[in-house]
Structure 1
Amino acid sequence: MAIRPLLHQFALSRNRRNPSLLLSPLSVPSPSLIFILRRIASAASPISGPPPHDRRHSHQKTSAYQQYRVRPLSPPETLAQKIGKAVRRSGAPSKARVYADVNVILPKEYWDYESLTVQWGEQDDYEVVRKVGRGKYSEVFEGVHCTDNEKCIIKILKPVKKKKIKREIKILQNLCGGPNIVKLLDIVRDQQSKTPSLIFEYVNNTDFKVLYPTLSDYDIRYYIYELLK
Protein backbone atom coordinates (compact mmCIF):
# COMPACT_ATOMS: atom_id res chain seq x y z
CA MET A 1 0.00 0.00 0.00
CA ALA A 2 1.29 3.49 -0.91
CA ILE A 3 1.53 5.46 2.35
CA ARG A 4 2.64 8.87 0.99
CA PRO A 5 -0.41 9.50 -1.32
CA LEU A 6 -2.68 8.66 1.59
CA LEU A 7 -0.88 11.14 3.82
CA HIS A 8 -1.08 13.79 1.06
CA GLN A 9 -4.85 13.24 0.66
CA PHE A 10 -5.27 13.40 4.46
CA ALA A 11 -3.29 16.64 4.58
CA LEU A 12 -5.39 18.22 1.81
CA SER A 13 -8.64 17.38 3.59
CA ARG A 14 -7.33 18.95 6.81
CA ASN A 15 -5.99 22.01 4.99
CA ARG A 16 -9.41 22.77 3.50
CA ARG A 17 -10.73 23.10 7.04
CA ASN A 18 -7.68 24.94 8.38
CA PRO A 19 -5.70 26.96 5.73
CA SER A 20 -2.86 27.68 8.14
CA LEU A 21 -1.78 24.06 7.82
CA LEU A 22 -0.74 24.64 4.20
CA LEU A 23 2.45 26.15 5.51
CA SER A 24 3.37 22.88 7.33
CA PRO A 25 5.61 20.67 5.14
CA LEU A 26 4.95 16.92 5.00
CA SER A 27 8.60 16.25 5.76
CA VAL A 28 7.96 17.27 9.38
CA PRO A 29 4.85 15.34 10.40
CA SER A 30 2.85 16.50 13.37
CA PRO A 31 2.01 14.17 16.31
CA SER A 32 -1.41 13.50 14.81
CA LEU A 33 0.23 12.37 11.53
CA ILE A 34 2.52 10.01 13.44
CA PHE A 35 -0.55 8.44 14.98
CA ILE A 36 -2.13 8.06 11.51
CA LEU A 37 1.12 6.51 10.20
CA ARG A 38 1.06 3.89 12.92
CA ARG A 39 -2.54 2.98 12.20
CA ILE A 40 -1.90 2.68 8.44
CA ALA A 41 1.21 0.55 9.05
CA SER A 42 -0.69 -1.81 11.32
CA ALA A 43 -3.47 -2.12 8.70
CA ALA A 44 -0.93 -2.76 5.90
CA SER A 45 0.90 -5.62 7.67
CA PRO A 46 -1.54 -7.51 9.93
CA ILE A 47 -0.07 -9.85 12.55
CA SER A 48 -0.75 -13.52 11.88
CA GLY A 49 -2.91 -15.26 14.45
CA PRO A 50 -5.48 -13.83 16.83
CA PRO A 51 -4.84 -10.50 18.57
CA PRO A 52 -3.12 -10.61 21.96
CA HIS A 53 -6.42 -9.94 23.70
CA ASP A 54 -8.12 -12.87 21.96
CA ARG A 55 -5.14 -15.16 22.57
CA ARG A 56 -5.30 -14.36 26.27
CA HIS A 57 -8.96 -15.28 26.40
CA SER A 58 -8.39 -18.51 24.47
CA HIS A 59 -5.61 -19.44 26.93
CA GLN A 60 -7.97 -18.82 29.82
CA LYS A 61 -10.62 -21.03 28.23
CA THR A 62 -8.10 -23.83 27.72
CA SER A 63 -6.98 -23.59 31.35
CA ALA A 64 -10.57 -23.74 32.56
CA TYR A 65 -11.19 -26.80 30.42
CA GLN A 66 -8.14 -28.51 31.82
CA GLN A 67 -9.18 -27.61 35.35
CA TYR A 68 -12.66 -29.12 34.96
CA ARG A 69 -11.70 -32.07 32.80
CA VAL A 70 -14.26 -34.88 32.99
CA ARG A 71 -12.88 -37.91 34.77
CA PRO A 72 -14.10 -41.47 34.22
CA LEU A 73 -16.62 -42.63 36.80
CA SER A 74 -15.33 -45.20 39.27
CA PRO A 75 -17.59 -48.12 40.26
CA PRO A 76 -19.63 -47.52 43.42
CA GLU A 77 -18.28 -48.93 46.67
CA THR A 78 -19.92 -51.95 48.18
CA LEU A 79 -21.28 -51.95 51.73
CA ALA A 80 -18.41 -54.13 52.92
CA GLN A 81 -15.86 -51.62 51.55
CA LYS A 82 -17.59 -48.73 53.30
CA ILE A 83 -17.67 -50.60 56.61
CA GLY A 84 -14.00 -51.51 56.20
CA LYS A 85 -13.05 -47.82 55.80
CA ALA A 86 -15.05 -46.70 58.84
CA VAL A 87 -12.75 -45.70 61.70
CA ARG A 88 -13.81 -44.79 65.21
CA ARG A 89 -12.68 -41.34 66.32
CA SER A 90 -9.69 -41.44 68.62
CA GLY A 91 -10.55 -40.80 72.25
CA ALA A 92 -14.31 -41.01 71.67
CA PRO A 93 -16.03 -43.25 74.25
CA SER A 94 -18.25 -45.99 72.90
CA LYS A 95 -21.80 -45.67 74.19
CA ALA A 96 -25.04 -47.08 72.84
CA ARG A 97 -27.57 -44.52 71.62
CA VAL A 98 -30.46 -46.59 73.02
CA TYR A 99 -30.74 -49.18 75.79
CA ALA A 100 -27.49 -47.88 77.35
CA ASP A 101 -28.57 -47.94 81.03
CA VAL A 102 -30.25 -51.33 81.09
CA ASN A 103 -27.85 -52.81 83.65
CA VAL A 104 -28.61 -49.94 86.03
CA ILE A 105 -32.36 -50.49 85.80
CA LEU A 106 -32.45 -54.31 85.94
CA PRO A 107 -31.38 -56.35 88.98
CA LYS A 108 -27.84 -57.67 89.49
CA GLU A 109 -28.81 -61.20 88.47
CA TYR A 110 -29.36 -59.98 84.93
CA TRP A 111 -25.75 -58.94 84.25
CA ASP A 112 -23.65 -60.65 86.95
CA TYR A 113 -22.82 -63.80 84.98
CA GLU A 114 -20.00 -64.82 87.33
CA SER A 115 -22.60 -65.58 90.03
CA LEU A 116 -24.64 -67.78 87.66
CA THR A 117 -25.52 -71.25 88.92
CA VAL A 118 -25.78 -73.56 85.91
CA GLN A 119 -28.59 -76.12 85.93
CA TRP A 120 -27.09 -79.10 84.10
CA GLY A 121 -29.32 -81.44 82.12
CA GLU A 122 -28.82 -85.08 81.16
CA GLN A 123 -26.37 -85.64 78.32
CA ASP A 124 -27.74 -89.12 77.66
CA ASP A 125 -31.01 -87.57 76.48
CA TYR A 126 -29.28 -86.48 73.25
CA GLU A 127 -27.56 -88.34 70.46
CA VAL A 128 -25.13 -86.97 67.86
CA VAL A 129 -26.01 -87.60 64.20
CA ARG A 130 -23.44 -85.67 62.10
CA LYS A 131 -21.01 -82.74 62.24
CA VAL A 132 -22.25 -79.52 60.68
CA GLY A 133 -19.57 -76.97 61.59
CA ARG A 134 -16.82 -75.80 63.86
CA GLY A 135 -15.47 -72.61 65.38
CA LYS A 136 -12.67 -71.29 67.55
CA TYR A 137 -14.29 -72.34 70.81
CA SER A 138 -16.63 -75.15 69.81
CA GLU A 139 -17.68 -77.88 67.38
CA VAL A 140 -21.28 -78.11 66.20
CA PHE A 141 -23.26 -81.29 65.48
CA GLU A 142 -26.75 -82.16 64.36
CA GLY A 143 -28.45 -84.35 66.91
CA VAL A 144 -31.78 -85.71 68.10
CA HIS A 145 -33.59 -85.82 71.39
CA CYS A 146 -33.83 -89.48 72.30
CA THR A 147 -37.26 -89.19 73.94
CA ASP A 148 -39.30 -87.49 71.17
CA ASN A 149 -36.82 -87.94 68.27
CA GLU A 150 -36.84 -84.15 67.71
CA LYS A 151 -33.94 -82.65 65.77
CA CYS A 152 -31.61 -80.31 67.63
CA ILE A 153 -28.15 -78.73 67.42
CA ILE A 154 -25.45 -79.77 69.89
CA LYS A 155 -22.64 -77.26 70.43
CA ILE A 156 -19.74 -78.97 72.24
CA LEU A 157 -17.48 -76.34 73.81
CA LYS A 158 -13.71 -76.66 73.79
CA PRO A 159 -11.76 -76.28 77.07
CA VAL A 160 -12.01 -72.61 78.05
CA LYS A 161 -12.32 -70.67 81.30
CA LYS A 162 -15.52 -71.23 83.25
CA LYS A 163 -16.13 -67.49 83.25
CA LYS A 164 -16.46 -67.44 79.45
CA ILE A 165 -18.85 -70.38 79.51
CA LYS A 166 -21.03 -68.71 82.14
CA ARG A 167 -21.04 -65.46 80.19
CA GLU A 168 -22.24 -67.15 77.00
CA ILE A 169 -24.92 -69.09 78.86
CA LYS A 170 -26.17 -65.95 80.64
CA ILE A 171 -26.35 -63.95 77.41
CA LEU A 172 -28.27 -66.75 75.68
CA GLN A 173 -30.69 -66.98 78.59
CA ASN A 174 -31.30 -63.21 78.58
CA LEU A 175 -31.88 -63.13 74.82
CA CYS A 176 -34.08 -66.23 74.76
CA GLY A 177 -37.44 -65.51 73.14
CA GLY A 178 -36.20 -62.44 71.25
CA PRO A 179 -36.66 -61.99 67.48
CA ASN A 180 -34.18 -63.88 65.27
CA ILE A 181 -32.48 -65.48 68.30
CA VAL A 182 -31.87 -69.24 68.27
CA LYS A 183 -33.52 -70.75 71.34
CA LEU A 184 -31.32 -72.39 73.98
CA LEU A 185 -33.05 -75.64 74.95
CA ASP A 186 -30.69 -77.26 77.43
CA ILE A 187 -27.21 -77.29 78.97
CA VAL A 188 -25.48 -80.64 79.51
CA ARG A 189 -22.04 -81.82 80.61
CA ASP A 190 -20.07 -85.04 80.25
CA GLN A 191 -19.66 -86.68 83.64
CA GLN A 192 -16.05 -87.79 83.06
CA SER A 193 -14.39 -85.00 81.03
CA LYS A 194 -16.69 -82.25 82.38
CA THR A 195 -17.00 -80.94 78.81
CA PRO A 196 -20.08 -78.68 78.55
CA SER A 197 -22.48 -78.70 75.59
CA LEU A 198 -25.23 -76.29 74.62
CA ILE A 199 -28.42 -77.67 73.05
CA PHE A 200 -30.19 -75.38 70.56
CA GLU A 201 -33.29 -75.64 68.44
CA TYR A 202 -32.70 -76.99 64.91
CA VAL A 203 -32.82 -74.47 62.04
CA ASN A 204 -32.73 -75.72 58.45
CA ASN A 205 -30.30 -73.23 56.94
CA THR A 206 -27.93 -72.87 53.98
CA ASP A 207 -24.20 -73.09 54.63
CA PHE A 208 -22.75 -69.59 55.10
CA LYS A 209 -19.88 -70.20 52.66
CA VAL A 210 -22.42 -71.02 49.97
CA LEU A 211 -24.90 -68.29 50.87
CA TYR A 212 -22.57 -65.31 51.39
CA PRO A 213 -21.27 -64.94 47.77
CA THR A 214 -24.87 -64.72 46.52
CA LEU A 215 -25.91 -61.89 48.87
CA SER A 216 -26.33 -58.36 47.51
CA ASP A 217 -25.76 -55.16 49.47
CA TYR A 218 -29.50 -54.96 50.08
CA ASP A 219 -29.58 -58.51 51.48
CA ILE A 220 -26.69 -57.77 53.85
CA ARG A 221 -28.37 -54.57 55.07
CA TYR A 222 -31.60 -56.50 55.64
CA TYR A 223 -29.96 -59.25 57.71
CA ILE A 224 -27.95 -56.76 59.78
CA TYR A 225 -31.14 -54.82 60.47
CA GLU A 226 -32.94 -57.99 61.51
CA LEU A 227 -30.11 -58.83 63.92
CA LEU A 228 -29.97 -55.37 65.49
CA LYS A 229 -33.66 -54.54 65.81
Structure 2
Amino acid sequence: MKFARILYNDEIYYAKYDSSSNMFELIEGDIFDFFSYTSTNVNRNEVKILPPCEPSKIVAVGLNYANHANEMGLNIPKFPALFLKPSSSVIGNMDNIIYPDMSEQVDYEAELAIVIGETASYVSESEAKKYILGYTCLNDITARDLQRLDSQWTRAKGFDTFAPIGPFIETELDPDNADIRLRLNGKVMQESNTSNFIFKTDYLVSAISQIMTLYPGDIITTGTPSGIGSMNIGDTVEVEIDGIGTLTNFVKERQK
Protein backbone atom coordinates (compact mmCIF):
# COMPACT_ATOMS: atom_id res chain seq x y z
CA MET A 1 0.00 0.00 0.00
CA LYS A 2 1.21 3.47 -0.87
CA PHE A 3 0.51 6.41 1.44
CA ALA A 4 1.16 10.03 0.52
CA ARG A 5 0.76 13.45 2.04
CA ILE A 6 -0.83 15.85 -0.42
CA LEU A 7 -2.07 19.39 -0.86
CA TYR A 8 -5.56 19.48 -2.38
CA ASN A 9 -7.83 22.53 -2.53
CA ASP A 10 -5.49 24.37 -0.14
CA GLU A 11 -5.86 21.62 2.48
CA ILE A 12 -3.28 19.03 3.54
CA TYR A 13 -4.39 15.39 3.60
CA TYR A 14 -2.92 11.98 3.95
CA ALA A 15 -4.08 9.77 1.11
CA LYS A 16 -3.79 6.26 -0.28
CA TYR A 17 -2.37 6.15 -3.79
CA ASP A 18 -3.49 3.72 -6.50
CA SER A 19 -0.83 3.66 -9.22
CA SER A 20 -3.06 1.73 -11.63
CA SER A 21 -5.65 4.53 -11.73
CA ASN A 22 -3.32 7.42 -10.80
CA MET A 23 -5.82 8.37 -8.10
CA PHE A 24 -5.57 9.33 -4.44
CA GLU A 25 -8.22 8.35 -1.90
CA LEU A 26 -8.30 10.99 0.83
CA ILE A 27 -7.83 9.90 4.43
CA GLU A 28 -9.46 11.40 7.50
CA GLY A 29 -7.08 11.38 10.45
CA ASP A 30 -3.40 10.56 10.80
CA ILE A 31 -1.70 7.50 9.30
CA PHE A 32 0.54 7.43 12.39
CA ASP A 33 -2.49 7.19 14.69
CA PHE A 34 -6.17 6.65 13.86
CA PHE A 35 -7.56 7.19 10.40
CA SER A 36 -10.32 6.17 8.01
CA TYR A 37 -10.80 6.31 4.27
CA THR A 38 -13.23 8.94 2.98
CA SER A 39 -14.14 7.42 -0.41
CA THR A 40 -13.23 10.81 -1.92
CA ASN A 41 -10.91 10.20 -4.88
CA VAL A 42 -8.82 12.81 -6.68
CA ASN A 43 -6.53 12.56 -9.68
CA ARG A 44 -2.78 12.91 -9.20
CA ASN A 45 -2.82 15.89 -11.57
CA GLU A 46 -5.09 17.77 -9.13
CA VAL A 47 -2.74 17.64 -6.13
CA LYS A 48 0.74 18.65 -5.02
CA ILE A 49 2.63 15.77 -3.44
CA LEU A 50 4.26 16.90 -0.18
CA PRO A 51 6.98 15.17 1.85
CA PRO A 52 5.21 11.99 2.99
CA CYS A 53 5.97 12.58 6.68
CA GLU A 54 7.22 15.31 9.01
CA PRO A 55 10.13 13.75 10.91
CA SER A 56 11.36 15.14 14.21
CA LYS A 57 14.77 13.87 13.08
CA ILE A 58 16.47 12.03 10.26
CA VAL A 59 18.96 9.45 11.50
CA ALA A 60 21.36 8.76 8.65
CA VAL A 61 23.60 5.74 8.24
CA GLY A 62 26.91 6.22 6.51
CA LEU A 63 28.86 3.47 4.75
CA ASN A 64 26.17 0.81 4.57
CA TYR A 65 27.32 -0.53 1.18
CA ALA A 66 30.84 -1.97 1.02
CA ASN A 67 31.42 -0.57 -2.48
CA HIS A 68 30.63 2.96 -1.27
CA ALA A 69 33.04 2.60 1.66
CA ASN A 70 35.69 1.49 -0.82
CA GLU A 71 35.14 4.45 -3.16
CA MET A 72 35.44 6.81 -0.18
CA GLY A 73 38.65 5.09 0.96
CA LEU A 74 37.13 4.20 4.34
CA ASN A 75 37.03 1.01 6.37
CA ILE A 76 33.80 -0.96 6.64
CA PRO A 77 32.35 -0.07 10.06
CA LYS A 78 31.67 -2.66 12.76
CA PHE A 79 28.73 -0.57 14.03
CA PRO A 80 26.62 1.74 11.85
CA ALA A 81 28.22 5.15 11.32
CA LEU A 82 25.43 7.52 12.36
CA PHE A 83 24.75 11.21 11.87
CA LEU A 84 21.67 13.43 11.96
CA LYS A 85 20.08 15.61 9.32
CA PRO A 86 17.74 18.37 10.57
CA SER A 87 14.02 18.34 9.85
CA SER A 88 14.50 21.75 8.21
CA SER A 89 16.38 20.02 5.37
CA VAL A 90 13.27 18.10 4.23
CA ILE A 91 11.65 18.82 0.87
CA GLY A 92 9.30 16.77 -1.27
CA ASN A 93 8.91 15.43 -4.76
CA MET A 94 9.32 18.02 -7.55
CA ASP A 95 10.78 20.58 -5.11
CA ASN A 96 14.03 22.49 -5.65
CA ILE A 97 17.40 21.64 -4.12
CA ILE A 98 19.10 24.97 -3.41
CA TYR A 99 22.82 25.05 -4.14
CA PRO A 100 24.44 26.76 -1.11
CA ASP A 101 26.67 29.77 -1.67
CA MET A 102 29.49 28.40 0.50
CA SER A 103 29.92 25.12 -1.40
CA GLU A 104 31.51 24.34 -4.74
CA GLN A 105 30.70 20.61 -4.83
CA VAL A 106 27.21 19.33 -4.05
CA ASP A 107 26.69 15.57 -4.45
CA TYR A 108 23.70 13.26 -4.75
CA GLU A 109 23.28 10.07 -2.70
CA ALA A 110 20.34 7.76 -3.44
CA GLU A 111 19.01 5.99 -0.35
CA LEU A 112 16.18 3.85 0.95
CA ALA A 113 14.57 5.49 3.98
CA ILE A 114 12.73 3.72 6.80
CA VAL A 115 9.66 5.56 8.14
CA ILE A 116 8.98 4.83 11.80
CA GLY A 117 5.34 4.10 12.62
CA GLU A 118 5.36 3.72 16.41
CA THR A 119 7.49 5.09 19.23
CA ALA A 120 10.55 2.84 19.48
CA SER A 121 12.97 2.62 22.39
CA TYR A 122 15.19 -0.37 23.20
CA VAL A 123 13.55 -2.46 20.49
CA SER A 124 14.88 -5.94 19.74
CA GLU A 125 15.86 -6.82 16.19
CA SER A 126 13.20 -9.53 16.06
CA GLU A 127 10.47 -7.00 16.91
CA ALA A 128 11.75 -4.10 14.81
CA LYS A 129 9.25 -4.52 11.96
CA LYS A 130 6.37 -3.76 14.35
CA TYR A 131 7.70 -0.22 14.64
CA ILE A 132 8.08 0.45 10.91
CA LEU A 133 5.25 2.02 8.94
CA GLY A 134 6.96 1.69 5.58
CA TYR A 135 9.71 2.89 3.29
CA THR A 136 10.37 5.83 0.99
CA CYS A 137 13.08 7.33 -1.24
CA LEU A 138 15.60 9.85 0.09
CA ASN A 139 18.41 11.80 -1.53
CA ASP A 140 21.12 12.52 1.06
CA ILE A 141 22.41 15.71 -0.55
CA THR A 142 25.95 16.50 0.60
CA ALA A 143 28.28 19.46 0.20
CA ARG A 144 31.26 17.20 -0.37
CA ASP A 145 33.91 19.91 -0.22
CA LEU A 146 32.64 21.02 3.20
CA GLN A 147 32.45 17.42 4.40
CA ARG A 148 36.16 17.06 3.66
CA LEU A 149 36.94 20.22 5.64
CA ASP A 150 34.93 19.43 8.76
CA SER A 151 35.53 16.83 11.46
CA GLN A 152 31.79 16.07 11.54
CA TRP A 153 29.12 16.24 8.86
CA THR A 154 26.37 18.52 10.15
CA ARG A 155 27.28 21.48 7.96
CA ALA A 156 27.86 19.42 4.82
CA LYS A 157 24.59 17.51 5.09
CA GLY A 158 22.35 19.91 6.99
CA PHE A 159 21.53 22.72 4.56
CA ASP A 160 17.91 23.57 3.86
CA THR A 161 16.59 21.37 0.99
CA PHE A 162 19.31 18.72 1.52
CA ALA A 163 16.85 15.91 2.38
CA PRO A 164 14.38 15.32 -0.45
CA ILE A 165 12.00 12.48 0.50
CA GLY A 166 9.06 10.78 -1.18
CA PRO A 167 6.98 10.57 -3.14
CA PHE A 168 5.20 7.77 -1.24
CA ILE A 169 5.49 5.57 1.83
CA GLU A 170 5.27 1.95 0.69
CA THR A 171 4.13 -0.41 3.45
CA GLU A 172 4.63 -3.74 1.64
CA LEU A 173 8.21 -3.50 0.37
CA ASP A 174 10.95 -6.03 1.12
CA PRO A 175 13.50 -3.42 2.27
CA ASP A 176 16.46 -5.77 2.11
CA ASN A 177 15.93 -6.76 -1.52
CA ALA A 178 14.93 -3.67 -3.49
CA ASP A 179 16.52 -2.28 -6.65
CA ILE A 180 17.69 1.32 -6.23
CA ARG A 181 19.04 3.72 -8.84
CA LEU A 182 19.76 7.39 -9.35
CA ARG A 183 19.54 9.30 -12.60
CA LEU A 184 21.15 12.66 -13.26
CA ASN A 185 19.61 14.42 -16.25
CA GLY A 186 18.26 11.05 -17.37
CA LYS A 187 21.56 9.15 -17.10
CA VAL A 188 21.89 6.33 -14.55
CA MET A 189 24.69 7.22 -12.11
CA GLN A 190 23.98 4.83 -9.22
CA GLU A 191 22.42 1.38 -9.41
CA SER A 192 22.36 -1.35 -6.80
CA ASN A 193 20.13 -3.52 -4.64
CA THR A 194 19.54 -3.20 -0.92
CA SER A 195 20.53 -6.86 -0.53
CA ASN A 196 24.04 -5.37 -0.52
CA PHE A 197 23.45 -3.63 2.82
CA ILE A 198 26.12 -4.22 5.45
CA PHE A 199 23.52 -3.60 8.18
CA LYS A 200 19.96 -4.75 7.44
CA THR A 201 16.94 -2.59 8.17
CA ASP A 202 15.65 -4.44 11.24
CA TYR A 203 19.10 -4.30 12.79
CA LEU A 204 19.31 -0.56 12.14
CA VAL A 205 15.99 0.15 13.85
CA SER A 206 17.00 -1.94 16.84
CA ALA A 207 20.53 -0.53 17.12
CA ILE A 208 19.45 3.10 16.82
CA SER A 209 16.60 2.62 19.30
CA GLN A 210 19.20 1.63 21.92
CA ILE A 211 20.65 5.15 21.55
CA MET A 212 17.69 7.45 20.98
CA THR A 213 13.91 7.20 21.01
CA LEU A 214 12.40 7.06 17.55
CA TYR A 215 9.02 8.73 17.12
CA PRO A 216 6.27 8.18 14.54
CA GLY A 217 7.29 9.91 11.32
CA ASP A 218 11.01 9.80 12.09
CA ILE A 219 13.27 8.58 9.32
CA ILE A 220 16.25 6.27 9.27
CA THR A 221 18.02 6.60 5.95
CA THR A 222 20.07 3.55 5.16
CA GLY A 223 23.13 4.68 3.22
CA THR A 224 24.04 5.02 -0.43
CA PRO A 225 25.68 2.65 -2.92
CA SER A 226 28.73 3.49 -5.02
CA GLY A 227 28.52 5.96 -7.87
CA ILE A 228 28.14 9.20 -5.92
CA GLY A 229 28.88 12.33 -7.89
CA SER A 230 28.31 16.04 -8.24
CA MET A 231 25.32 18.06 -9.38
CA ASN A 232 25.22 21.48 -10.97
CA ILE A 233 22.66 24.26 -11.04
CA GLY A 234 20.06 23.36 -13.66
CA ASP A 235 20.33 19.60 -13.16
CA THR A 236 17.42 17.22 -12.61
CA VAL A 237 18.05 14.35 -10.19
CA GLU A 238 15.84 11.28 -9.69
CA VAL A 239 15.97 8.57 -7.03
CA GLU A 240 14.01 5.48 -8.02
CA ILE A 241 13.34 2.45 -5.84
CA ASP A 242 11.33 -0.38 -7.34
CA GLY A 243 8.07 -0.78 -5.46
CA ILE A 244 8.08 2.80 -4.14
CA GLY A 245 8.38 5.15 -7.09
CA THR A 246 10.56 8.00 -8.32
CA LEU A 247 11.62 11.06 -6.33
CA THR A 248 12.41 13.95 -8.69
CA ASN A 249 14.10 17.23 -7.75
CA PHE A 250 15.71 20.19 -9.49
CA VAL A 251 18.99 21.90 -8.57
CA LYS A 252 18.57 25.67 -8.40
CA GLU A 253 20.57 28.72 -7.43
CA ARG A 254 19.56 30.51 -4.25
CA GLN A 255 17.39 33.53 -4.95
CA LYS A 256 19.14 36.58 -3.47
TM-score interval, normalised by the smaller of the two chains:
under 0.3
In terms of fraction of residues, the more strand-rich structure is 2
- Larger Cα Rg: Structure 1 or Structure 2? 1
TM-score in terms of structure 1 length: 0.22
Higher relative contact order (CA 8 A, sep 6+): 2
In terms of fraction of residues, the more helix-rich structure is 1
TM-score in terms of structure 2 length: 0.20
